[in-house]
A and B are shown apart, each in its own frame.
Chain A
Amino acid sequence: MKTFEERWTAWLDDQLSGRELSEFEASLPDKAAAQAEKAQAKKLGELLKRELSARPLKNEEFFSHQLRERIGHDSGEQRPERASRTSTSTWWTIPRLLWAGTASLAVFWICTIFVMHQETPPEESQYLTQILNARVDPVVSPNGTVSIFEVKQDRVTVLWTEGLQSLPADYAAK
């Protein structure tokens, strides 16, 4: 069973016929007002159909041409921008190379000084002269002996010999 609203909508759209149409029109309280309303609804429908329907493109070629041109233009704008970015990013100019060289040398010097300061001082024995071996001629000085003294306070090493042949004072001549 259709409601009144459904039959009203169908009546406005001229979809009622025969007995259904006559029964519905008979149920209307004011048929003239209903007819006027139906006419208004039809006018509104036509207006909406006319205004809201999608307009077919009359010049598709022109439109796509415009679109392609726009895309081309946009990508063309990006290309020089990238090129200019590349040209400004040439960092290794001569002054910059000089600066980089100077900075590297400075860093090298700082590191060298730092490492030299960090180096552990050599053992005290490395400061002192060391006697590796010593001998007196056994033929000339058969009783000759050698001793080694390290005077750490004065940082002097002394090779002390005993039993060498004594010589007259004339041997002190220059």
Chain B
Amino acid sequence: MHRSLAVIVLVLLLATIVVPASQAAEKVWSGLVIAENVTGPQPVPPELIRIEGLLKKFFGYNDFKVIGQSQKTLNTGQEDWLATSKFFGLHVDARGETQGGYVLNLKLYKEKELLLETEAKLSKRSPLVIKGPQVGGGQLLLVLVVQ
């Protein structure tokens, strides 16, 4: 009887401690994507499956290729990181956690040249897609998703 009681207490205590802790750390995937129209499109990268329909419908391309990416675990919501390809760099600076998301400052560089700067409140449930410059026959897209 005392043993079962001790088990119940332990389980409740663990649940009290572990559940909030497990909610604390989240990953943000940020990617540089080239969208093109090709004759034999490749399967969409797994990070983009969730928004595949929107990408095709909204931008009018059938092929999406990740040319640079980064996956960052946010613990404090104050981290910064870089997702790069050969010529582009996306600098992400997290400026704190808000209710349901993170405030991010985003800078898109072409080599050392700043093309675009934006500040967004990235929701945990809502990806962000940024239309970048035209690249050849395709389009550079920046995608940020809280995983």
Contacts and interface: CB of A to CB of B under 8 A. Distances in A.
Interface residues of A, number: 47
A95 B5 contact: yes
Given A101-B9, A132-B119, A156-B126, A171 B88 contact: yes
Given A105-B16, A167-B135, A173-B87, A95 B129 contact: no
Contacts of B137: 169
A35 B120 CA distance: 136
Contacts of A167: 87, 110, 133-136, 140
Nearest to B51: A156
A169 B38 CA distance: 14
B101 A129 contact: yes
Given A102-B12, A171-B136, A157 B126 contact: yes
B123 A129 contact: yes
Interface stretch (A48-56, A69-77, A82-90, A136-144): A136-144
Contacts of A157: 120, 126-129
A99 interface: yes
Nearest to B85: A174
Interface string B113-134: 1111111111101111111111
A127 B129 contact: no
B49 interface: no
B32 to A, nearest CB: 9
Given A102-B5, A105-B13, A135 B86 contact: no
A129 B110 contact: no
The interface centre, meaning the residue of B68, B117, B127, B138 with most chain A CB atoms within 10 A of its CB, is B127
A130 B9 contact: no
Contact of B134 (A128, A159, A164, A170): A164
Nearest to B116: A136
A155 interface: yes
Given A98-B6, A105-B12, A132 B121 contact: yes
Interface in B62-120: 65, 67-68, 85-88, 99-101, 103, 110, 113-120
Contacts of B67: 172-174
A172 B123 contact: no
19 contacts: A105-B12, A105-B16, A109-B16, A131-B118, A131-B128, A134-B117, A137-B115, A140-B115, A144-B116, A154-B51, A155-B127, A156-B128, A156-B129, A157-B126, A166-B134, A167-B134, A169-B137, A174-B67, A174-B86
Interface of A: 95, 98-99, 101-102, 105-106, 108-109, 122, 126-137, 140-141, 144, 146, 149, 151, 154-161, 164-174
Given A129-B122, A151-B54, A171-B87, 12 more contacts: A95-B2, A127-B123, A129-B126, A132-B118, A154-B53, A156-B126, A164-B115, A166-B133, A166-B134, A167-B110, A169-B137, A172-B36
